[in-house]
Amino acid sequence: MSKITLKVNQKSHSHDVEPRTLLAHYLREQLSLTGTHIGCDTSSCGSCTVHMDGMAVKSCTILAVQADGSEITTIEGLAPNGQLHAVQQGFKECHGLQCGFCTTGMIMAAADLLERNPDPSEEDIRHGLEGNFCRCTGYHNIVRSVQWAAKSMSELVN
């Protein structure tokens, strides 16, 4: 067992974990943050995407012990004050989700994308989401959702 201390969605947590525990397992099992999903075992699908120290990462490919001392944001912490994040709002406005399973990871990846590139082209968005599988939407409305969010965020800034 190793002791880890980390901040998840602005709250500090401290736990003993087996070193082999994945961050995704830790978030889901220990903290009951089940919005982070596990869809594969090869770091391919992106359903488990969370933000770690301001970067979108695949929490199924990070050990909880590696996250010791980090700040994590999960989908549950993306909208801290009940106000939806622009990307969340965009997914709702543009029907960017169907079954919802990939959605949380997709939103976390898209939020990171817009953080780095507030005015992405369609190609930027498609390239930026290549680490996230969706089997429901054909990505069409996901791209539109991210475009909607980009526009909404830029309007907010201007």
Partner 1 sequence: MSNKYIGQSVKRVEDKRFITGKGRYTDDIKLLGMTHASFVRSPYAHARVTSIDISAAESMPGVVAIFTGDDIKETGIVGVPTGWQVNFKNGDTMKEPPHPLLIATGSTAKHIGDPVAVVIAETYAQAVDAAEAVEVDWEDLEAVTDPFKATQEGATLVHDDSPGNLAFDWELGNPLDEVNAAIDASAHVTTLEFVNQRMVPNAIEPRSYIGHYDEVSDKYTLYTSTQNPHLIRLLMCAFVLGLPEHKVRVLGPDVGGGFGSKIFHYTEEALVTWASQQTKRPIKWTETRSEAFMLDAHGRDHVTKAEMGFDGEGNVKALRIKTYANLGAYLSTFGPAVPTYLHGTLLQGLYTTPKIHIDLCGVFTHTVAVDAYRGAGRPEATYLLERLMDLAALEMGKDPVELRKQNFIPAFDGVEQPGYQTQVALQYDSGNYHGVVDKAMKMLDYKKFREMQQEAAQNGKLLGVGFSTYIEACGIAPSAVVGSLGARAGLYESAQVRVQPTGKVSVYSGSHSHGQGHETTFAQIVADKFGIPMEDVDIVHGDSDAVAFGMGTYGSRSLAVGGSAIMKSIDKVLEKGAKIAAHKLECAADDLEFAEGKWTVKGTDKHIGFGDVALTAYVPHVYPEGLEPGLDFASFYDPANFTYPFGCHIAVVEVDKETGKVKLQRFIAVDDVGNVINPMIVDGQIHGGLAQGIGQALLEGAIYDDYGQLVNGSYMDYAMPRADDLPMFELDRQETPCPHNPLGVKGAGEAGTIGSTPAVVNAVIDALWSGGHKVKDIAMPLTGERVWRAMQSS
Partner 2 sequence: MISYPFDYVRPESVEEALEHLGGDTKILAGGHSLLPTLKLRLSAPDKLVDIARIASLKKIKKDGDEIVIGGAVTHREIMDSEIIQKHLPVLSEGAAVIGDPMIRYKGTMGGSLAHADPSADWSAMVLAAGGEIVIQSKKGKRTVPATEFFTGFYSTALKDGDILIEIRFPVPEEGTKMTYQKFTQPASRFALVGCAAARLPDGSARVAFTGVADAPFRDKGVEEAVGDWSEATLEAAAQKAAEGQNINADHYASEEYRLHLAKVYCKRALLQLVN
Order of strands, sheet of 55-58, starting from the edge strand that comes earlier in the sequence? 11-17, 2-8, 71-73, 49-52, 55-58
Q: How would DSSP label each residue in 20-33?
A: T-BHHHIIIIIS--
Position among 2, 10, 34, 154 found at the interface with partner 1 (CB under 8 A)? 34
**Which of 130, 128, 134 is closest to 149 using CA atoms?**
128
Q: 3 vs 16, 21, 73, CA distance in Å?
A: 4, 12, 20
- Among partner 2, partner 1, none, the one that 141 touches (CB under a kind-dependent 5 to 8 A) is partner 1
Q: Please report whether residue 93 would count as binding partner 2 according to CB under 8 A.
A: no
Q: Please report whether residue 120 would count as binding partner 1 according to CB under 8 A.
A: no
Task: Give the shortest CB-18-to-partner 2 separation in angstroms.
Answer: 6
Spell out the residues 6+ positions from residue 143 whose beta carbon is closer than 8 angstroms to its own. Answer: 122, 125, 126, 129
- Among partner 1, partner 2, none, the one that 63 touches (CB under a kind-dependent 5 to 8 A) is partner 2
Q: Please report whether residue 103 would count as binding partner 1 according to CB under 8 A.
A: yes
Task: Tell me how far the alpha carbon of residue 75 is from its chain's centroid.
Answer: 6
Q: Please report whether residue 75 would count as binding partner 2 according to CB under 8 A.
A: no
Position among 81, 123, 155, 156 found at the interface with partner 1 (CB under 8 A)? 123
Q: Please report whether residue 92 would count as binding partner 1 according to CB under 8 A.
A: yes
- Among partner 2, partner 1, none, the one that 147 touches (CB under a kind-dependent 5 to 8 A) is none
Give pairs for 26-31: CB < 8 Å, separation 24+. 26/64, 26/67, 27/59, 27/72, 27/74
Q: Please report whether residue 42 would count as binding partner 2 according to CB under 8 A.
A: yes
Summarize as ranges the residues that interact with partner 1 (CB under 8 A).
Answer: 18, 20, 25, 28, 32-42, 44-45, 47, 74-76, 78-79, 84, 88, 91-93, 95, 97-104, 107, 122-123, 125-127, 129-130, 132-143
